[in-house]
A and B are shown apart, each in its own frame.
Chain A
Amino acid sequence: MNRKLLILLGPVTGLVMFGAVVLIATFLTNREYQEPYRAPAAIVDATPRAEGLAAERATAEATARAKPYVEVEYRAFPVVGSRVAIWAVAQLHLLFAAFVLAVPIFAVLIEAIGYKTGDRRYDRLAHEFTKLLSVSFSLTATFGAALTFMLIILYPKFTNYIMSVFSPTFLPYVLLFFLEAFFLYTYYYGWGKFHPIVHLGLGIGLNIVGTAIMFIANAWLTFMMSPNGISDGGALISVWEAIYNFTWMPINVHRVIANVAFGGSVAAAYAAFKFLQAKTDEERAHYDWMGYIGNFVAIIAFLPLPFAGYWLAKEIYAYSQTLGLQMMGGAFSWLFIIQAVLIGNLFLAANYYLWLGMGRVEGAQRVQRFIKYLLIAIVVCFMVWATPRSIIATVSEIRAMGGSSHPILGFLGVMSAKNTAVNILILTTFMSFLLYRRTGKTATVAWAKAGHLAQLLIFASAAIFVIFLGVYGYFVEASVRIGLSVPQVSSVLIAMVAITAIDVFLYRRPKTTADVRWGRMPAISQYVLIFIAVTFTWLMGLMGYVRSGLRQHWHVYGVIRDTSPDAFTPTLGFATLVVSVTVLAFFLLIGFVFWLASLHDLPDFEKRTVQLPHAPQLAVDGEAGRPS
């Protein structure tokens, strides 16, 4: 960019920011009520009107002085209202927090692999992931502080109640936050400065502290949904029971897994961003590999996520059937159709990326011929999952159908069909990954044929068992049907573990028929990675909404009722718009984080100016930027 323009840009930005601050301050002060100017009483005649006004003023003043202190329950946030304001800030805080908690988990694992194998590429990769952390940590803390202040200002009664129930948890939370900062910055800035074991220890410390912070915060929010350890009137009986409420542990597990999936996808998006800007083949190879690892982390964490979701839903039902049915069959039931669109897109995009990745290896045609079957399976499952139980129809259409459910498609809208579809989706994606893994390799062990056959048999058995239970669910009572999801999930998990175990030994010393040519990926594959990251983020926003919105007109379900003007549950259309805007804001901010992280790789300004073709006119003697 033009140097003079750059110099000018600084003061102009400063002036604009100053002007903005003045404008905001003026706007706020103008909103305050001010007494109109009146001439001093001494110089005007004491007319009866003036006397009357003075008496009125005196009465008003006396009333104001006698006014008792009353606790305010709510305050309004301008324009968008308190709920949307809290919603957006909480969502941004959670997204950054999820990223900050997730990245160290896989960074430490990758670093450990590098240490164990002695391969420096892993160390460089882990360091590159960690570069994204420090700015994200600051943004997490900033949004966290904003959220706290906004809760105190906008919802003082509710905040007081939560603080009184969980008072013993706040100081440990602050202490852990200090420790988090200590571990995070020493882990990042200490890269290569300590013995690898010490450095890995710092990383593990960072993960333990980060997880503990999340567990404490989860206690507060899960208590709001499934309060425990309190009397019928809301008085605290046991802090531990309030923490260890019905949904606390399922949310803890669900969030750890979801955070890893989300963090992996955002890190992959960073790699895609860098890949698209790369100038050399070496850079492209590195960022292609980084994107692959990030996406691998995201998908591996994503596969067990529905199972954690089942557990959470089961605990919600166990706490309150009403809450559970409200979620799946009431006001929020259509939200799960939107979720189906998102998850269907995620599965399609993740598989597409893996299939594109097969192009990195010569001779991939051998495995690519299976892709069409996988695609058919994914599309069919997607369609089943996205089929609603009841459909919007006119009165005559409903009469013709004999109810709000379609006579044929309605059968696909129930949980038996949806559970079956998601389990088959997971198995299919797992198969895609397995095919990708063996591209360019041939098993050399003596039992290779038997091993492949065993894998195929396990896969087919799991798929048939899942479909059988899905169909069986239509013919049994509710109490039996609800329990069928457990063997469905278990069979898929067992199949994945067993097939992976066989695969590890089967391809222990494979014959490599072609090398992986990192960097040889079409640009569209990188946009797919970014699409996956946006979809993951949007999905997190949506599921965060259902978890929180499920309480409907309760701040703390059944204990503290929401009596504010925002007590109603908004339409799904409105909720999805708020989620979209928040996700967009997150990506603008994370784009800033990516840009800052990219600065790290740039050579110093002085060196850059020397390398520029028109550099001779610039001095390089320490007074960079000044014309000589």
Chain B
Amino acid sequence: MTVPHTVRIFALVVATTAFYGYVGQLVPQREVQPPEEIVLSTDLTTADMVKIGGELMVGKGLCLTCHTIGKSGALRFPDLEGIAARAASRVPGLSEIEYLAQSLYEPDTYIVPGFNPGMPVINKPPIGLTDPEILCVIAFLQTLGGTPTVTLQSSHRYYKGAAAPAAAGAGAK
């Protein structure tokens, strides 16, 4: 019995779409949820901030979509390993924290030689980290080649720092 061409065409269309649908099942499957809002308590220690900063860099901040930590070679954006050691001396007149804050709030002001501008302003949408969240990111960055010193009361020229909690002592920079 000869199968009519119409049936064959239909079978070909179904088989082709099914095949491509199957190819789609073979690649890694990852469902990406919208970033969760992190509520920062006012009595976070620097160690807490480092932990939160690390999470923000992977999640809401999307930092590690572009940056790497501990990679070399032909990179698209600067590797962050040892950033704390370099930050203090990178731009004359800017302290470590001021330099890191500038790269997050005004990323196009200083471009690392060999790279193109392209980093988004971190405190505005679509990323939109809050000022305390950015302090957490700075705390994490300070661990890459240095010692974290920032607290939620730390200030820089883009943010005047949070008021110290009643029970907490000094800590503002």
The residues of A with any CB-CB pair to B shorter than 8 Å are 232, 273, 276-277, 317, 320-322, 325-326, 329-331, 334-335, 337-338, 341-342, 392, 473-479, 481-482, 523, 527, 530-531, 534-535, 538, 552-554, 557-559, 561-562, 567-573, 575-577, 579-581, 583-584, 587, 591
Contacts and interface: CB of A to CB of B under 8 A. Distances in A.
Nearest to A554: B126
B74 A534 contact: no
Interface in B40-75: 62, 65-66, 74-75
Chain A residues touching B, majority SS: helix
Chain B residues touching A, majority SS: loop
Given A321-B77, A554-B126, A579-B21, 7 more contacts: A277-B6, A331-B32, A478-B116, A531-B12, A534-B17, A571-B30, A571-B31
A476 B73 CA distance: 9
Contacts, number: 138
Contacts of B28: 334, 392, 572
B20 A474 contact: no
Contacts of A538: 16-17, 20
B49 to A, nearest CB: 23
Contacts of A567: 34
A309 to B, nearest CB: 19
Contact of B13 (A276, A331, A342, A534): A534
Given A558-B125, A580-B21, A584-B17, A325 B76 contact: yes
19 contacts: A317-B118, A321-B77, A322-B120, A322-B127, A337-B27, A338-B27, A473-B74, A481-B74, A527-B9, A535-B20, A552-B34, A553-B35, A558-B125, A572-B28, A573-B29, A576-B25, A580-B17, A580-B24, A583-B17
Contacts of A320: 120, 126
B157 interface: no
B31 A334 contact: no
B23 interface: yes
A531 B17 CA distance: 10
Interface size range on B against A: 35 or more
A326 B120 CA distance: 13
Contact of A330 (B27, B65, B118): B65
Interface string B114-137: 111011100011110000000000
A572 B32 contact: no
B34 A568 contact: yes
B39 interface: no
Contacts of B109: none
A580 B18 contact: yes
A584 B9 contact: no
A568 B16 CA distance: 28
Nearest to B128: A558
B93 to A, nearest CB: 26
B27 A334 contact: yes
Minimum-distance CB pairs A-B, first 9: A576-B24, A321-B118, A553-B34, A580-B21, A558-B126, A558-B125, A571-B29, A276-B5, A569-B32
Contacts of A530: 9, 12-13
A568 B32 CA distance: 6
Contacts of B6: 277
B20 A338 contact: yes
A245 B37 CA distance: 30
B14 interface: yes
Contacts of A232: 124
